[in-house]
Amino acid sequence: MTAYLIVDVDDLLQRLESRGVALDIHTVARSLLNSAALAAGLGNPEDLVAIAVADWNRYRRPSGSAGGSVQQVFAGEGYDLFNVPDRKLVADALLMHYFSFEEQSVDELIIATSRLDISTLVNRVQTTARARVRIWGDEAPPDLNVIFQPLESILGIPSKTVALYIDFENISISLSEQGYILDIDALLEGMIRQAQNYGQVVHMAAYAPWGQRGGLGTLIDSTGREVSDEVTSRLARANIDPVFSLPGKNSADMRIAKEVLDDSAHADSADVFIIASGDRDFNEVFSAVRTRNKQVIVWGVRGSTSRLVESNPALELEYVEDFCDLQRHADAKVSGAVAHLEAAVPGDGPEFRPSQWSTVILQLDILLTQANVEAIDLDDLVTRLVEVRAVPNVDRADDLVEQATKYGLLQVDTSVNTVALNGSSPEVERTRLIRDRVVHRVANTLHVRGWEYVNYGFLLKGIAMDHGLEGPGMNANDTWRSEWVDTLVREGILARELVPHRHNPEDLVPVIKLGKSDVDLSAPSLPGVTREDVDNMKRRVIVSVEQFTSFRGFAWCPLGSLHRRLRPFDPSTTFQQSVEELLEDGAVDVREYENPQSDFTTKGISLIEESPDTQDTLSERNRFIRALLNLYEGRQPITRDNMQQYLDMGDADLDLWISIMQSENVLKAVPGQRDLYSLFRTHHTVCMVAGDEPGTGESGDEAEE
């Protein structure tokens, strides 16, 4: 049987030292050897190939506990001393030296380390079919099929327990004041990793005015996306309890102090208390916890930690920026920041969701529109951000504007102290697009129908059908749509109210109105919709409603079904605008109809036959169908050119009517023949125009079925 034990001595000694464990190095080396022999089922530890890996040049001084060097201890216990001065080469060096022989397969491989570089040997060493691979370390390495055991249990070390209390408001503001970018991913990963260095973490809590706009610094994730509104959910996923405290340092300080004192008084309380806050008000708390034989560690931020805390010799002080991989604003490359945004916005990356950058863009755009200028005084934007409570004070507003400028969202002219939007920024373009399409959809509905509000759910459905909002990261689901509507409400562009439900007045439902903005958003025209689009859609609506009602003998057509039928021709809100214009012109009637298949009424649309719009459109349709009948009866090919000969129509109108006839199933394109069509002669509408006996035709819908 071939069995190997590989001990990462550098990692082992560093971990024991950081956790304050005082073990004789002879005991450690022997315990690992005996435990490995027992796990491998060997009768004698000498049958085990034991390898002690380290940069042995670091351990030339005598070991105080044993009177000899670390090398001598491991060599005396029967380990091969494998020297690796360059840590980057450790896995390759071990593989080449011990496992490069193809005829040699390993039955048992045990690696004592918490580092992934040596752990990668698991997938590279040739093993037998029934081999067992074990990792002794802090936690099971990801994506490796191994047997994991905590190193403390192997060595018989009782693991300390750790409780972590984070004054998140204090830490985030302090880091922001010192010029650091608040990367929530790096911050949480660094804090959790550092806490685990002291033992088993049994409690973690973070205190801040969660949900209070502007209460914290601008937080982003590792992709550069602003995620201030997601922090509590990210904390919960990391097993950190988000605890609400009122804004201001005293509220969080008092809450943390009380909980630390209460928790440390319990008999089963943690061994190590870590308090992430550099505030001087905790000095008495630190002393009280230490008198209970607890290890107290303080995490602060350089330049923002109280001098009383820094000068207290009884405290173990660590700085957050030392163990969290945070970057300063001054060191951030503009191109790198813009690349983050571009990767997150137009590509196949995450959804383009609202953020604190949205606030800057929308509020600046309002100021620019009000003044009818392309740039405004920088101080006006700063004042505006404070007024709308996007940030708590001027300093934080300056910080937010500086970040937005670095990310390429704003263009600041320092010579005249003005700021403008960078219209070519993907973030700016998409934020404006979403605002325009959502707000104008609300404005148009209120304007045409004379309503006081738009139902929230109805608005979400309308946005979902807006083809102008399609694309990677856009219009993904109702959550995405709700977040953007809520953002426009928060910025004062829209307003949300609760009104009684029409079927059950005791229930309140959310509705949307236009906000009290100084910007005129009430114009009925919608972006991306031309006059020609609306006129063409009006003809489609009239033809489809007439065909449905005349064939089935109904007085009305379900409005929802009609929209689904015509949706392929609705690039934005064309259908909505066309129906509303037909209503204004008296060509259609839209109201609630009794539905025999439902307990509730159904919104339907019916034609007003004496309307000029209705008569003109149906007359034009009949003329087109007669031309098709002439070609059909004359046995001439139904081509675009032949249709043109029978009709005095421009190219645009001809193309429209060919499209309408195809969508209504009157015409079908002949496969493989360009501009050649077949006529559905028994179609109900064709029979009606031809003057055939009633009841001889088939509807387009049934023909398709």
Model confidence pLDDT, tens digit, residues 85-100: 888 888 889 988 888 7
> Which of 167-181, 340-354, 413-427 is predicted with the least confidence, judged by mean pLDDT?
340-354
Which range, 386-390, 391-395, 501-505, has the best average confidence (pLDDT)? Answer: 386-390
| Residue 331 confidence class, pLDDT cut points 50, 70, 90 | low
Q: What is the pTM of this model?
A: 0.49
* Domain coordinates in residue numbering, the chain: 3-155, 161-323, 613-704
More confident residue, 287 or 375: 375
Distances, alpha carbon 432 to alpha carbons 403, 514, 597, in Å: 19, 17, 43
Once rounded to an integer, what is the mean pLDDT over residues 656-676? 91
pLDDT above 90 for 507: no
pLDDT above 60 for 526: no
What is the rounded distance in angstroms from the CA atom of residue 349 to the CA atom of residue 341? 10
pLDDT above 90 for 600: no
Once rounded to an integer, what is the mean pLDDT over residues 604-628? 94
Rounded to the nearest integer, the mean pLDDT of the chain is 83
Phi, psi of 645 (to 5 degrees): -65, -30
User: Which fold would CATH assign to domain 161-323?
Assistant: Rossmann fold (3.40.50)
Helix (H) or strand (E) holding 499: strand 494-500
Indicate if 161-323 has the same CATH topology as 3-155: yes
> Which of 17-26, 168-177, 370-379, 512-521 is predicted with the least confidence, judged by mean pLDDT?
512-521
> Which of 202-216, 263-277, 511-525 is predicted with the least confidence, judged by mean pLDDT?
511-525
How do residues 11-21 score in pLDDT, each as one tens digit?
Answer: 888 888 776 66
How do residues 66-91 score in pLDDT, each as one tens digit?
Answer: 446 888 899 999 999 999 988 888 88
pLDDT above 60 for 702: no
| Residue 153 confidence class, pLDDT cut points 50, 70, 90 | confident
> Which of 39-53, 297-311, 539-553 is predicted with the least confidence, judged by mean pLDDT?
297-311
pLDDT at 348: 42
pLDDT at 347: 38
Phi, psi of 226 (to 5 degrees): -75, 125
Helix (H) or strand (E) holding 137: strand 127-137
Is 136 within 8 Å of 110 (Cβ atoms)?
yes
How do residues 435-493 score in pLDDT, each as one tens digit?
Answer: 988 988 888 777 655 678 888 887 888 788 777 787 778 888 888 888 899 889 888 89
Complete DSSP assignment for 252-311: HHHHHHHHHHHHHTSTT--SEEEEE---GGGHHHHHHHHTTT-EEEEEE-TTTS-HHHHT
Which range, 96-100, 161-165, 300-304, has the best average confidence (pLDDT)? Answer: 161-165
More confident residue, 173 or 451: 173
Dmax (CA) of the chain: 115
pLDDT at 51: 94
| Residue 619 confidence class, pLDDT cut points 50, 70, 90 | very high
The token pair that represents 689 in the structure block: 């125009």
> Which of 19-28, 40-49, 105-114 is predicted with the least confidence, judged by mean pLDDT?
19-28
Complete DSSP assignment for 544-606: HHHHHHHHHT-S-EEHHHHHHHHGGG-SSSHHHHHHHHHHHTTSEEEEEE--TTSSS-EEEEE
Instruction: Give CATH for domain 613-704.
Output: 1.10.10.10
Phi, psi of 69 (to 5 degrees): -75, 160
More confident residue, 45 or 214: 45
| Residue 3 confidence class, pLDDT cut points 50, 70, 90 | very high
Residues 6+ apart with CB under 8 A from 373: none
Once rounded to an integer, what is the mean pLDDT over residues 24-47? 89
pLDDT at 514: 86
Closest CA to 154 of 294, 15, 55, 51: 15
Once rounded to an integer, what is the mean pLDDT over residues 310-318? 82
pLDDT at 376: 94
Is 133 within 8 Å of 109 (Cβ atoms)?
yes
More confident residue, 704 or 236: 236
Instruction: Give CATH for domain 3-155.
Output: 3.40.50
Which residue bears the tokens 């995490």? 299
| Residue 517 confidence class, pLDDT cut points 50, 70, 90 | low
pLDDT above 90 for 230: no
| Residue 334 confidence class, pLDDT cut points 50, 70, 90 | very low
